Amino acid sequence: MDLGHIFSMRRISYHTMRAAALLAMGLLVVINLQSATYTWDGGGSNNNLSTAGNWNPDGAPAQGAGADLIFAGSTRLSPAVEWGWTVKSLSFNSTAGAFTLTGGQFTIGTGGVTNNSTRTQTIQSQIALSANQTWNAAAGAIVSTDNFNGGNNTLTLAGSSAITISGQVSSVATLNLTGSGSRTFGTQTTASTVNITGTGASSFNGQLNVGTLNMSAGTNNFANVQATGGINISGSANANFTGPVTGGSSGMNISSSGNVNFNGSINSGSITLNGSGTTTISGNGSMSTGAVTVNNGTLVLDHNGAAINSTLTVNNGGTVIFGQNNQIPNWQTVTLNEGSTLHLGNTSQTIANLIITGDSVIDFGEGGSQLNVQEWGNISIADGITITIVNWDDSKGDVFAGRNPGTPVVNIQYADNNGNVYATGTWGGGLITPGAPVPEPATYGFIMLGSGIAFFAWRRWQTARKQAQAQHV
């Protein structure tokens, strides 16, 4: 037997096993350091985060993406972050007072930030995200006041309490706003995608730079939106745009049952309404829109100057209400398809072309209204359709249709404010006068086609002239 060989093998085996054991111990130490949990008890001699006595167990938190920092109790409520700390998570347990973390920077990993206390927790340190994460205001509010770098990660804000991020937010991949608490942002927020599904109020008080903005719930307020990939409003969401809005070439799709208000300039591709809610365009500012289509719900045009600068199409279930004069440029076309309603709202509108393809309602409101078609424009009415005229006053004269009536045969019916039809007629060229009086209060409206050639024109002077001629004879 070769004793030297046996001794050599045993020696190698011993050293190998010893090295493996040391390596395993080292790994355990690293794992322990990376996954350690530190609970703040404020027992140190100062407020520094690095003071060992402020933590349980005693010892400054380890640097690394696996460290969980828990803040508890009401001792030393203003921890000082002397430099940059990399942690897995920050949390405030149910016993925590109102903490304010100041200075330095937190780089936060997968654990995010959680507040299980009913007290507001304020982080005045800069924030950098190193992983996708959730900030959960489970019991009390969370406030972040300094710059916030998303690191191209996904950030989800959750919980029933408020979350406020007032510093500049940059480089967030996807920003998800969930839960029932309010969500508030400050000077500027930049994200590739913003999804709002929470039922609480969301406010972007500075400029929101985003690819695509989606919202399906809550009441959401925007001071300035620059959305290069479009804006989609659905579900029960309410939205208030108080400043400039850019929807990009993808435009804006509104299918919400809530209220959507635009009170500033609009620069967007097409605007499409599919929901049962009301969308209002008002205020001031330049308007640059693509085609506007109302498939359902109500569009109120009440802007100081033209509210849109492209074509307007109203489909079955859609209603358009004018709140001020000249809401559509006089070179554009209005199309009323089957089941549409146009409410002139005591205003005067001038357009290039009026196309009516199916049964429609034209409401003249509670006073004088005009819908003028340019002399060089065109009126096109489909054969056999029924047009319902609401709030017309027969004391004002007769109803005319078209510059050159041609062959279409159109059914005209007159209704009151409640939709009760009180007179009908059939037009195949010429004038139509209802044979029954209009219920009080009387109103007046007319639609003109250039140079006094009327589409629906109520002209009392014609009736008066005929009566005068009869008396003269």
Confidence of residue 259 (pLDDT cuts 50, 70, 90): very high
Convert the pLDDT of each residue in 265-324 to its tens digit.
Answer: 999 999 999 999 999 999 998 999 999 999 999 999 999 999 999 999 999 999 999 999
Residue 424, pLDDT score: 78
Tokens of 424: 């009908």
Gap between the Cα atoms of 294 and 41, Å rounded: 60
Convert the pLDDT of each residue in 71-106 to its tens digit.
Answer: 999 999 999 999 999 999 999 999 999 999 999 999
- Whether 115 and 89 have beta carbons less than 8 Å apart is answered as no
Tell whether the model's pLDDT for residue 438 goes beyond 90.
Answer: no
Please state the φ and ψ torsions of residue 408, each to the nearest 5 degrees.
-60, 140
**Which residue would you say has higher pLDDT here, 430 or 425?**
425
Gap between the Cα atoms of 415 and 420, Å rounded: 5
Closest to 452 measured CA to CA, from 347, 335, 370 = 370
Mean pLDDT rounded to a whole number for the chain: 85
Closest to 344 measured CA to CA, from 363, 328, 327, 329 = 363
**Which residue would you say has higher pLDDT here, 470 or 109?**
109
Convert the pLDDT of each residue in 117-132 to its tens digit.
Answer: 999 999 999 999 999 9
Convert the pLDDT of each residue in 343-397 to its tens digit.
Answer: 998 899 999 999 999 999 999 887 678 888 888 888 888 988 999 988 875 544 4
Q: At 90, which helix (H) or strand (E)?
A: strand 84-92
Tell whether the model's pLDDT for residue 4 goes beyond 80.
Answer: no
Q: Which residues of 368-379 are buried (b: 16+ CB within 10 A; e: fewer)?
A: bbbbbbeeebeb
Gap between the Cα atoms of 158 and 60, Å rounded: 30
Q: What percent of the chain has pLDDT over 70?
A: 78
Tell whether the model's pLDDT for residue 470 goes beyond 90.
Answer: no
Q: How far is CA 187 from the centre of its chain?
A: 18
Tokens of 157: 């804000």
Residue 165, pLDDT score: 99
Confidence of residue 428 (pLDDT cuts 50, 70, 90): low
Q: What global pTM score does this model have? A: 0.85
Q: CB neighbours of 41 closer than 8 A, spacing ≥ 6? A: 54, 55, 56, 72, 73, 75
Tell whether the model's pLDDT for residue 18 goes beyond 80.
Answer: no
**Averaged pLDDT, 185-203:** 98
Residue 437, pLDDT score: 44
Domain ranges (residues) in the chain: 37-443
| Cis geometry, peptide bond prior to residue 441 (ω within 30 degrees of 0) | yes
Confidence of residue 13 (pLDDT cuts 50, 70, 90): low
CA dihedral 163, 169, 175, 180 (to 10 degrees): 10
Q: What percent of the chain has pLDDT over 90?
A: 67
Gap between the Cα atoms of 269 and 387, Å rounded: 31
Question: Is the dihedral angle over the CA atoms 91, 96, 100, 101 positive or is it negative?
Answer: negative
Confidence of residue 35 (pLDDT cuts 50, 70, 90): low
Confidence of residue 416 (pLDDT cuts 50, 70, 90): confident
Question: Within a 13 Å sphere around the CA of 11, how many CA atoms are in the beta-carbon half?
Answer: 6
Residue 394, pLDDT score: 52
